[in-house]
Amino acid sequence: MTWTKKRGLHQPVTNAIAAHLHAEWRDRRLHTDTAYMSRFIRRRCATDLLALDLFRGSAKEVTESEAMREAAVRYLDLDPHDSDVMIIVPGDGGTPRTGALLAFTTRWEVVSVDPDLRRWCDTNSASGSLTAWSCSPATIRRLTVVPHRVEDAAGRVQVESPSKVAVLACHSHASLDASLDVVCASYPRSQIRVAAMGCCFEQTITGRVHDAEYIDDGVASPHRVVRIWKAAGAA
C-alpha cells in the first residue's frame, strides 16, 4: 500500500499518479512540506555539512537526504543511537551527502559508494587514508567513501558482523539488484533492509515486492516515492 504522512493510506503509486506529480512540479503547484529543511537548520551539524559543500547549495538535495534518514528510522526501525548498524548508500553522487548526514546524526557506520566520488576523496581524505578502494574523510567520523561502482565494491569495506544492515538508495543510478547482491555477499549473517527513492532510474528488487511505498511530501522534487523492504535478504 501507499500513503503520505498527512493523508493516511492511499492507493498504489500508478503511472498516472507519478505523471501527476511531475505535471504539478512542472507547473510549480506541487507542495513541499518544509519540515525537513526546518529540521536540518536546527541540527548542530548543519554548519559543518554546509561548510563541506556536500549539498552544493541545493535545498532539494538536503530534503532528499533527510527523507532517507526518516525512512531508515521511521520505517526500517533503525535506532539512531544503535552503533551495531551498517548503512550502504549506493549512488550517493559527486559528494557523499546522504552518507555524511547519516554519519553526523547517528551512531551508524556508513559507506557511500559512487564512482563520481573520486575527486571528492582526493580533496577531503584524512592523511594516509586514501587507498585504491576507499577513503575516510578528515572531518566525518564513521563514514567511509568508496569511489567505485557498487558492483565492484564487494568485500572491500566491512565492519565486524553488524546485526543490522540497510541499503538506502537516494535517487541512485546504481542497480538495486546489484547493490543488494553485494551487500548480501558481504554480510551474509546480517538482517538486510532497504529503502529506495527512485528518480529516472527505477528502483526495484527482482522477485521481491516492496512491503510498502509512500509519497514523501517533504522532498523538494517530483521524484518523492519511497519504497520499503523490511527484510530484503540474508539472516
Domain ranges, ordered by start, for the chain: 2-233
- What does each of the 235 residues of the chain score in pLDDT, given as a tens digit? 444 554 443 446 677 777 777 787 676 778 888 999 999 999 999 999 999 999 988 999 999 999 999 999 999 999 999 999 999 999 999 999 999 999 999 999 999 999 999 989 888 877 666 666 788 887 899 999 999 998 887 766 565 668 899 999 999 999 999 999 888 888 888 889 999 998 878 888 999 989 998 999 999 999 999 999 998 765 5
pTM value > 0.75: yes
Q: Which CATH number fits domain 2-233: 3.40.30, 2.60.40, 1.10.3470, 3.40.50?
A: 3.40.50
Contacts of 173 (CB under 8 A, 6+ apart): 91, 199, 200, 201
Sheet bearing 212-215, strands edge to edge: 8-10, 2-4, 212-215, 225-233, 191-197, 164-170, 85-90, 109-113, 143-146
Please give the grid coordinates belonging to residue 139: 572531518
Give residue-wise pLDDT tens across range 174-211. Answer: 999 999 988 888 888 888 999 999 887 888 899 998 99
